[in-house]
Structure 1
Amino acid sequence: MTPPPTPIALPTAPLTVAAVQAGPDPGDVAGNAATAGRLVRRAADRGARVAVLPELFLPAYHPPVLAADPAGTDVAADPAADVDDPRLDPLRAAARDGGTVVVVGAAVRHPDGRRTISSLVVDRTGAVRVGYDKQQLWGDERELFVPGGRGATLLVDGWRFGLGICYDGCFPEHGRAAAADGAHGYLCPSGYLTGSEHRRDLYYAARALDNTMYVVFANSVGGEPPWRFNGGAAVYDPEGRPLARGADTGEDVLVATLDPAALAATRAAHSMLVDRLPHQGAARAVLTA
């Protein structure tokens, strides 16, 4: 995609965000929602206005349990994409009490029967809706879920955030589509397994620098092999440098403040979004040596 013909205005005020790493219990949506609520309150106490929790955090990223108990692990969305599930009440209350917008991973059953890996957005009133369905499914996820059909942008206090989930962030085109829609940041609930530390640390820093935008990367941690996750939650600045970074083990809430002045300065110094050619690389010469 090419940049918008009229540039989107930059935010006018800083925004404090939190990237969470934690270990949910497989299949326990109610218990994991309570854990999420506790972590959101911790983020709010440190000033976070947006908190991002890992991919499939509510049911936990555990394919055997997700396959065995879809009724117990899914949340249902209505035709307007709203979610009304009493198991999420502790998370709703935390968002409402802390004035924090929450992005959290869930398995969602849609009215047409589709099952998706999704990001739920809990707003400051405690209302829950499906914000985004993962487009790039990884490996055996394709046996349990269907891919989403479109991207999504979340607006918070003048900031525009593209939404991605884990494997989406491995594709430069996904982050670039968010930037082309005017995103100032990219929110990525994820589930990276132990052994993938190099790729975990490279992809999301690269998406930040590729698009001169902030990236908030949340990840699960712990669990039993082969479903053991490696933490490393982070907030990256628009040059791909970590503003906050978690260890490979242990629960944590990583808090950082996104600065519109730093965003503007980075985009002035590194103007890839403006300089990109409309059809870059489409016409190619073939050389024989």
Structure 2
Amino acid sequence: MRWPRADYHRPVTPPPAATGLPAVPLTVAAVQAEPVPADVAGNADTAGRLVRRAAERGARVAVLPELFLPAYHPPTLAADPAGTDVAADPDGRIDDPRLDALRAAARDAGSVVVIGAAVRRADGRRTISSLVVDRAGAIRVGYDKQHLWSGEQELFDAGDRGATLLVDDWRFGLGICYDGCFPEHGRAAAADGAHGYLCPSGYLTGSEHRRDLYYAARALDNTMYVVFANAVGGADPWRFNGGAAVYDPEGRPLARGAGVGERVLVAALDPGALAATRAAHSMLLDRLPDQGLARSAVSA
């Protein structure tokens, strides 16, 4: 299910009661790893290895960083769009042999994978996207990044709507990096009934404070789990700081990676904890429908 971009700019309503809560826990993995610029096939191989590693620890969903397949390296993305992009058909399906190792890993592990890519859409747009690899190994575009950061605007087109990924009876809003800096984005996912928020990202060295604040805040704001995957390594000025994490619905890290090195962070999402948090912290129900729209001036 998708939510229109307009939802980010108007009052939201509480999550639909019909969505309810998941019946059983779900184990997820947040991955931090270092891709090689322009090596889509090699990075897909690395992703496949990490997906298998996550599955060995029980993960049924694995989230990898933003633009992991081509690597987040703007000079290379600008110089070689043909080599760094994957092509999507009009329905968003991806059929690229460079990703075969990733398909096989998802299929063999029985895992759902969310991974960052540069996508050439059938209408000619180029987007920063999250690909979703299902348990049968089929790949499609799940979500296009809506909030483009800095020089991304010179290389890519912004997405025009949000997306909710259904895995078993869990609902996950999809965001990418800078999207998570906007409270409205996570709130729109929660308004669509999301139990969690999956955020492939690319945070540079020096941004550790913001990296650790934004996604914990999105979890607490919306009493939902957040899975934050981040790149690591690279050469200045494109050196990334890791810190991948899974946050509980109060914004506490269930698992967090160091600032260096490859990591697969695994945590169980518990519907009981989700229910207890939402009972104790009822912001989604108590938020006023016209909050902040009608204002009065007070003189002092």
TM-score range, shorter chain: over 0.9
Map 1:35-50 to 2 at 5 A. 35-50=46-61
Residue 10 (str. 1) matches residue 21 (str. 2): yes
Cα pair 2:15 2:284 within 8 Å, conserved: no
Partner residue, 1:151: 162
Once the two structures are superposed, what CA deviation does each residue of 1:60-97 show, in whole Å capped at 9, x if it has no partner?
00000000000000000001100000000000000000
1:161 matches 2:172: yes
What does residue range 244-283 of structure 1 map to in structure 2 within 5 Å?
244-283=255-294
- Aligned pairs for 1:69-80 (under 5 A) are 69-80=80-91
Aligned AA for 2:141?
V
Correspondence for 2:8: none
Q: CA deviation at 1:8?
A: 1.9
1:151-230 correspondence to structure 2 within 5 Å: 151-230=162-241
Alignment check: 8 A CA contact 2:242 2:257 kept: yes
Gaps in structure 1 of 5+ consecutive residues: none
Number of residue pairs aligned between Structure 1 and Structure 2: 289
Give the Cα separation in 2 of the matches to 1:79 and 1:116. 14
* Equivalent position SS for 2:212: helix
Q: Distance in 2 between matches of 1:279 and 1:212?
A: 21
Aligned residue among 131, 135, 153 for 1:142: 153
CA contact (8 A) 2:15 2:190 kept: no
**What is residue 128 of structure 1 aligned with on the other side?**
139
Q: CA deviation at 1:7?
A: 4.7
2:123 is aligned with 1:86: no
Q: CA RMSD in A?
A: 0.6
Tell me by how many angstroms 1:164 deviates: 0.1
Match of 2:252 among 241, 253, 258: 241
Distance 2:299 2:233 in 1: 51
State how far apart, in whole Å, the 2-side matches of 1:22 and 1:37 are: 12
3-state secondary structure, aligned to 2:94 = coil
Q: Which residue of 35, 43, 63 maps to 1:52?
A: 63
Q: Please state whether the residue corresponding to 1:227 is helix, strand or coil.
A: coil
Distance 2:15 2:41 in 1: 42
Deviations 1:104-132 (A, max 9, x none): 00000001100000000000000000000
Q: Which amino acid aligns with 1:151?
A: G
Partner deviation per Cα, 1:241-275 (whole Å, 9 max, x = no partner) = 00000000000000000000000000000000011
Is 2:16–2:191's contact at 8 Å kept on the other side of the alignment?
A: no
Mark the runs of 5 or more structure 2 residues left unpaired by the alignment. Answer: 1-11
Q: Distance in 2 between matches of 1:77 and 1:9?
A: 33
Question: Within 1, Cα distance between the matches of 2:287 and 2:235?
Answer: 45
Superposed displacement of residue 5, structure 1 = 5.0
Misfit runs of 4+, over 4 Å:
none
Residue of structure 1 in register with 2:6 after alignment:
none
Would the aligned equivalents of 2:29 and 2:62 in 1 still touch at CA under 8 Å? yes
| Structure 2 CA distance for aligned equivalents of residues 44 and 238 of structure 1 | 23
SS at match of 2:51: helix
- Residues 197-236 of structure 1: CA deviation (Å, up to 9, x unaligned): 0000000000000000000000000000000000000000
Aligned partner of 1:64 in structure 2 is 75
So what's the TM-score if we normalise by structure 1? Answer: 0.99
Q: Which residue of 1 aligns with 2:3?
A: none
For each residue in 1:116-171, what CA deviation from the matched residue of structure 2 results, as whole angstroms up to 9, or x when unmatched? Answer: 00000000000000000000000000000000000000000100000000000000
Candidates 4, 28, 36, aligned match of 2:39: 28
SS at match of 1:215: strand
* Partners of 2:16 and 2:193 within 8 A in 1: no
| Residues in 1 aligned to 2:26 and 2:176: alpha-carbon distance in whole angstroms | 21
Alignment of 1:113-124 (within 5 A): 113-124=124-135
> How many angstroms apart in 2 are the aligned matches of 1:8 and 1:232?
31
Amino acid at match of 2:296: A
Q: Once the two structures are aligned, what percentage of the paired residues are identical?
A: 83
Return the alpha-carbon distance in structure 2 between the equivalents of residues 202 and 159 of structure 1.
Answer: 25
1:4 CA drift (Å): 3.9
Distance 1:7 1:239, change over 3 A: farther
